[in-house]
């Protein structure tokens, strides 16, 4: 049922009710005063009469005029006999030859009609519930009760490996799945067991969902997809039956792919931090998935793909042999991958001759496929707004600035605050430039964007895969540079350093508790990726020691930041003057303002795995 149906029902009900009431009133007996009735009795004009208690209904022999209403006459009437009346009504009536009847003159509204009217609100209510239920089912993908199947036919999935760029590393592995789905016979003949479950793991936006769809598109098999988060939204017990249905449907049309997105929402390890509620539902749904996968003999030709951003929190039961025993790590793209992804996404975008995607890829290390797709789209929007025929390099760099730094806000900042912000950002930038081995400073600006009053952007020279302790200390010193500069120059602490401090704490804690970079803690992994370390048998004493080490590192870094700024106060002031003048400085301008010649840093020769 849709809203219109309900509206029609409601209007219908009101109409019916209205008509019945009006009809009652129009066709029903005319209420008359008792005195009028007595007049008619006296005139011997009353033909028939029915009384119940003091209520009287009757019919006149000849129609009479309605009292006080001109032009209207009545024949049937009703009236009330006052209890204090002492007249001998019966005698008078029989004198006038009136029949006193045993049944009402006017038929009351039929029993059925009354029933209908009194039940109508309930019927409406029931109809409403049915509608709500149907709607909920629809929202659940409609696999219950034979709603529309959430199956995507290979014809409609027009995504192939051509649309996925920079996946050379994983292509071989994923091709194996494609080959199996394309010709399962080949494998069956040799008695080879097919891959049952493949887990795609990687940061958000790296193209896991895209890769799964492309696998189906490439193998030209049906693609059944479900997001694990939708299972949890369902009412209890439905998640498991939805899973059953998904597998049944897939088996029917095998070879096929079942794709479960965001599997970490239901597949979290016990003891990890879980959201409250929906607990049983997760477990039931997860168990159902595992049961279905265990039930495969391996010859059904159904491959289950799952994606997650958090492989580290998954229940190990998921990764047992015969389940998701293959893992494909999808990394953010490297320089070559970024160029290819930019090519894919600019296929349908007219590009001006000056566009250099290689150069754009240079300044986008760390960005994922989704980020790059977004960047291209922003640039196209900009070009359209500037009424150009093609996207120029300028649009791309402006879009990059917007994506990396946020949209500029149009607010007037008081001069004193502007100056303080300039020192804060100059502090970050100067320390970034002074640290040997730190990422070069790309941009400094005191134009307010989002919640921030200013930004300093540093990005690595080329892709980095691991970081050494020195580099991380440099990052902490740089991040503390803003706060240190404010304190050095104005001797105040402001709220402006909130996100800087968050980052500093995160890096320092990881250095000590996860990466073995503190001699006192040594080579212990104290802080788990998630959850309470004490659950993993870490003692309170060790945790206290971690806290002390974190404090020691940040204190040392802060002192170093202040010392560097004090020693280079002239450079700091020079950057601030330029910043206040121009609001936004690019790489060359910053280094020029500080009088520092930029040295090209190479990241550590042997990358350290992260």
Contact positions toward ligand ADP, by CB under 6 A? 164-167, 202, 204-210, 307, 341, 344, 369-370, 373
Q: By CB under 5 A, which span of 319-327, 476-484, 502-510, 553-561 interacts with Zn ion?
A: 476-484
Cβ closest to ligand ADP, residue 238 vs residue 313: 313
Select from Zn ion, ligand ADP, Mg ion, none the partner in contact with residue 210, using the beta carbon and a kind-dependent cut-off of 5 to 8 Å: ligand ADP
- Residue 442 Cβ vs Mg ion, minimum distance, rounded to whole Å: 29
Q: Which is nearer to ligand ADP, 167 or 521 (CB)?
A: 167
User: How near is the Cβ of 213 to Mg ion at its closest, in Å?
Assistant: 10
Give which of ligand ADP, Zn ion, Mg ion, none residue 373 binds (C-beta under 5 to 8 Å, depending on kind): ligand ADP
Per partner kind, with CB cut-offs from 5 to 8 A, the member of Zn ion, ligand ADP, Mg ion, none near residue 207 is ligand ADP
Least distance (Å) between residue 453 CB and Zn ion: 9
User: In the complex with Mg ion, which residue's Cβ is closer, 209 or 265?
Assistant: 209
> Please, which residue, 446 or 526, has the CB nearer to Zn ion?
446
Separation between Cα atoms, residue 295 and residue 289, nearest integer Å? 10
Cα angle: 160, vertex 165, 166; to 5 degrees = 140
Measured on CA atoms in the order 162, 166, 171, 174, is the torsion positive or negative?
Answer: negative
Contact footprint for Mg ion (CB under 5 A)? 209
CA 333 remoteness from chain centre: 25
Binding site partner of 500, from Mg ion, ligand ADP, Zn ion, none, Cβ cut-off 5-8 A by kind: Zn ion
Which of Zn ion, ligand ADP, Mg ion, none does residue 166 bind to, with CB < 5 to 8 Å depending on kind? ligand ADP
- Please say which residue, 259 or 423, places its beta carbon nearer to ligand ADP: 259
Please answer whether residues 457 and 405 qualify as being in contact, where contact means their C-beta atoms are separated by less than 8 angstroms.
yes
**H-helix segments, 183-237:** 184-189, 208-219, 228-233
Query: Min. distance of Cβ 164 from ligand ADP in angstroms?
Result: 5
Determine, following the binding rule CB under 5 A, whether residue 395 of this chain makes contact with Zn ion: no
Measured CA distances, 403 to 14, 140, 442 (Å): 56, 34, 14
Nearer to Mg ion, 165 or 457 (CB): 165
Among Mg ion, ligand ADP, Zn ion, none, the one that 167 touches (CB under a kind-dependent 5 to 8 A) is ligand ADP
CB of 268 to ligand ADP, least distance (A): 18
Closest to Zn ion by CB, 264 vs 500, is: 500
How many residues in the shown chain lie near Zn ion by CB under 5 A? Answer: 2
Contacts 24+ apart (CB under 8 A), 118-122: 120/13, 120/16, 120/17, 121/13
Q: Pick from Mg ion, ligand ADP, Zn ion, none: which does 165 bind, CB < 5 to 8 A by kind?
A: ligand ADP
Least CB distance to ligand ADP at residue 212 (A): 8
472's tokens: 């991380």
For residue 325, what are the contacts with CB-CB under 8 A and spacing of at least 6?
Answer: 195, 196, 197, 319
Q: Of 208 and 282, which has the nearer Cβ to ligand ADP?
A: 208
> Is the CB of 47 or the CB of 496 nearer to Zn ion?
496
Residue 517 · residue 253 · CB < 8 Å: no
Phi, psi of 198 (to 5 degrees): -125, 125
332 scored as a contact of Zn ion (CB under 5 A): no
Q: Which of 378, 401, 425, 486 is catalytic?
A: 425
Residue 285 interacting partner from Zn ion, ligand ADP, Mg ion, none (CB closer than 5 to 8 Å by kind)? none
**Min separation Cβ 310 and ligand ADP, Å:** 12
Q: Alpha-carbon distance 355 to 338, whole Å?
A: 15
Phi-psi region of 368 (alpha: psi -120 to 50; beta: other; left: phi over 0): beta
Smallest separation, CB 484 to Zn ion (Å): 10
Is residue 533 packed enough to be buried (19+ CB in 10 Å), middle (13-18) or exposed (0-12)? middle
Alpha carbons within 13 angstroms on the beta-carbon side of residue 375 total: 29
Encode 463-485: b = buried (16+ Cβ within 10 Å), e = exposed: bbeebeeebbbbbbbbbbbbbbb
Long-range CB contacts (within 8 A, 24+) of 395-401:
396/355, 396/360, 397/360, 397/363, 399/375, 400/360, 400/363, 400/364, 400/375, 401/443
Q: Which does 590 bind (CB under 5 to 8 A by kind): Mg ion, Zn ion, ligand ADP, none?
A: none
Q: Tell me which residues in 477-516 interact with Zn ion (CB under 5 A).
A: 482, 500
Q: Cβ 497 to Zn ion, closest distance in Å? A: 6
Give the tokens for residue 402: 């917007």
Residues 6+ away with beta carbon under 8 Å from 402: 378
Per-residue mark of binding to Zn ion, 233-272 (x: CB under 5 A): ----------------------------------------
Report the 10 Å Cβ neighbour count for 164.
Answer: 24
Which residue sits closest to Zn ion, CB atoms considered? 482
Among this protein's residues, is 218 annotated catalytic? no
Helix-helix angle 498-513:540-567, to 10 degrees: 130
DSSP 3-state assignment of 7?
helix
Question: Cα angle vertex 163, ends 160, 166, to 5°?
Answer: 115
Which residues carry out catalysis?
425
In the complex, the residues that contact Zn ion under the rule CB under 5 A are: 482, 500
């Amino acid at each position: 049922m849709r809203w219109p149906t309900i509206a029609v029902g409601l209007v219908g009900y009101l109409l019916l009710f209205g008509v019945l009431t009006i009809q009652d009133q129009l066709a029903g007996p005319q209420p008359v005063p008792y005195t009028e009735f007595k007049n008619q009795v006296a005139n011997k004009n009353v033909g028939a009469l029915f009384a119940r208690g003091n209520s009287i209904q009757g019919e006149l022999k000849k129609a009479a005029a309605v009292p006080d209403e001109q032009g209207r006459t009545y024949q049937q009437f009703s009236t009330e006999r006052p209890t204090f009346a002492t007249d001998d009504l019966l005698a008078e009536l029989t004198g006038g030859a009136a029949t006193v009847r045993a049944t009402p003159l006017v038929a009351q509204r039929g029993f059925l009609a009354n029933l209908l009217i009194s039940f109508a609100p309930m019927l409406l209510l029931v109809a409403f519930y049915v509608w709500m239920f149907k709607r909920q089912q629809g929202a659940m993908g409609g696999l219950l009760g034979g709603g529309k199947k959430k199956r995507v036919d290979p014809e409609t999935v027009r995504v192939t490996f051509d649309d996925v760029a920079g996946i050379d590393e994983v292509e071989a592995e994923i091709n194996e799945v494609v080959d199996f789905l394309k010709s399962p016979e080949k494998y069956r003949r040799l008695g080879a067991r097919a891959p049952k479950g493949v887990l795609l793991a990687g940061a958000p936006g790296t193209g896991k969902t895209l890769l799964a769809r492309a696998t189906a598109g490439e193998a030209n098999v049906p693609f059944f997809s479900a997001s694990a988060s939708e299972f949890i939204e369902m009412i209890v017990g439905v998640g498991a039956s939805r899973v059953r249905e998904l597998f049944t449907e897939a088996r029917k049309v095998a070879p096929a792919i079942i794709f479960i997105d965001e599997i970490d929402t239901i597949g979290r390890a016990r003891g990890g931090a879980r959201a409250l509620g929906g607990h049983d539902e997760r477990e039931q749904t997860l168990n159902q998935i595992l049961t279905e996968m265990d039930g495969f003999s391996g010859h059904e030709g159904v491959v289950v793909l799952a994606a997650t951003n958090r492989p580290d929190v998954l229940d190990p039961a998921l990764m047992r042999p015969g389940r998701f025993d293959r893992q494909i790590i999808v990394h953010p793209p490297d320089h070559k991958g970024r160029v290819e992804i930019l090519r894919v996404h600019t296929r349908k975008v007219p590009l001006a001759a000056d566009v250099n995607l290689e150069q754009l890829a240079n300044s986008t290390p760390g960005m994922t496929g989704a980020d790059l797709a977004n960047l291209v789209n922003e640039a196209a929007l900009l070009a359209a707004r500037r009424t150009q025929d093609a996207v120029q390099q300028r649009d791309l760099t402006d879009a990059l600035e917007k994506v990396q730094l946020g949209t500029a806000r149009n607010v007037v900042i008081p001069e004193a605050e502007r100056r303080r912000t300039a020192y804060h950002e100059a502090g970050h930038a100067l320390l970034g430039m002074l640290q040997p081995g730190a990422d070069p400073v790309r941009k400094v600006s005191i134009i307010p964007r989002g919640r921030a009053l200013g930004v300093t952007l540093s990005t690595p020279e080329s892709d980095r895969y691991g970081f050494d302790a020195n580099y991380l200390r440099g990052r902490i010193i740089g991040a503390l540079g803003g706060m240190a500069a404010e304190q050095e120059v104005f001797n105040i602490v402001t709220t402006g350093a909130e996100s800087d401090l968050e980052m500093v704490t995160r890096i320092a804690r990881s250095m000590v508790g996860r990466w073995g970079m503190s001699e006192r803690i040594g080579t212990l992994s104290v802080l788990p990726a998630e959850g309470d370390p004490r659950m993993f048998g870490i003692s309170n004493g060790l945790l206290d020691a971690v806290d002390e080490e974190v404090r020691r590192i940040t204190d040392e870094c802060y002192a170093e930041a202040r010392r560097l700024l004090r020693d280079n106060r002239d450079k700091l002031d020079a950057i601030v003057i330029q910043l206040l003048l121009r609001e936004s400085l690019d790489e060359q301008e910053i280094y020029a303002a500080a009088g520092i010649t930029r040295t090209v840093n190479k990241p550590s020769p042997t990358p350290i795995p992260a």
